[in-house]
């Protein structure tokens, strides 16, 4: 069963909705994108140091194949093997880069698909919600100005609540 490394951005508090919303799942294993279009994949992922190391390796391989006078077929096989090895380790290098950039490791999730892994990772976790508003306080965007305010529940002490819906941030009746 495939597994993913889960990272949360450093700018968010652990276990909050913001951290969960911006979490990144990095698949453990072979990366087809890194195999097919390595430089584009590295630059898209903002893996600058790894890109420079890959570029230096490519230059070193070109110099080495020229110095050893390898034919085109042998040089192609060597290049293919290097690309294959890189694609096997690309996501591990991505995880290393994310940790170096300050991302927090939040765990490992497994599942047949990314959706299943996300579901498994977040189920059973309590996500901290924002502080509930004080009694009688109206949430931004939940104001009901004008003559409709009493019909929409404003005068009943339930700000932003319409009809029989439960109280915001409260328990259901």
Note the pLDDT tens digit of each residue in 85-128: 999 999 999 999 999 999 999 889 999 999 998 898 888 677 76
Q: Which residue did the predictor score with more confidence, 149 or 55?
A: 55
Note the pLDDT tens digit of each residue in 19-68: 888 899 999 999 999 999 999 999 999 999 999 999 999 999 989 988 98
End-to-end CA distance of the chain: 42
Q: Picking from 70-79, 110-119, 124-133, which range would have the lowest pLDDT averaged per residue?
A: 124-133
Average pLDDT over residues 165-172: 53
The gap from C-alpha 151 to its chain's centroid, in whole angstroms, comes to 43
Q: How many CB atoms lie within 10 A of CB 34?
A: 25
pTM of this structure: 0.66
Q: Do 52 and 77 form a contact (C-beta atoms < 8 A)?
A: no
The predicted structure's pLDDT at residue 152: 45
| Reported confidence tier of residue 171, pLDDT bands at 50, 70, 90 | low
Q: Which residues of 90-108 are buried (b: 16+ CB within 10 A; e: fewer)?
A: bbebbbebbeeeebeebee
């Amino acid at each position: 069963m495939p597994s993913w490394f889960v990272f949360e951005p450093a700018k968010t508090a652990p276990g909050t909705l913001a951290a969960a919303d911006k979490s990144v799942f990095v698949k453990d294993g072979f990366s087809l994108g890194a195999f097919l279009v390595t430089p584009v994949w590295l630059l898209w992922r903002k893996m600058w140091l790894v890109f420079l190391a890959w570029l230096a390796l490519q230059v070193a391989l070109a110099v080495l194949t020229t110095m050893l006078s390898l034919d085109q077929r042998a040089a192609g096989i060597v290049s293919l093997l290097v690309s294959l090895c890189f694609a096997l380790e690309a996501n591990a290098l991505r995880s290393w880069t994310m940790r170096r950039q300050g991302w927090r490791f939040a765990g490992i999730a497994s599942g047949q698909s990314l959706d299943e892994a996300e579901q498994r990772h977040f189920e059973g976790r309590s996500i901290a919600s924002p502080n509930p508003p004080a009694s009688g306080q109206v949430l931004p965007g939940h104001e009901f100005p004008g003559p409709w305010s009493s019909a929409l529940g404003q005068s009943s002490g339930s700000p932003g609540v319409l009809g029989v819906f439960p109280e915001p941030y409260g328990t259901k009746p």
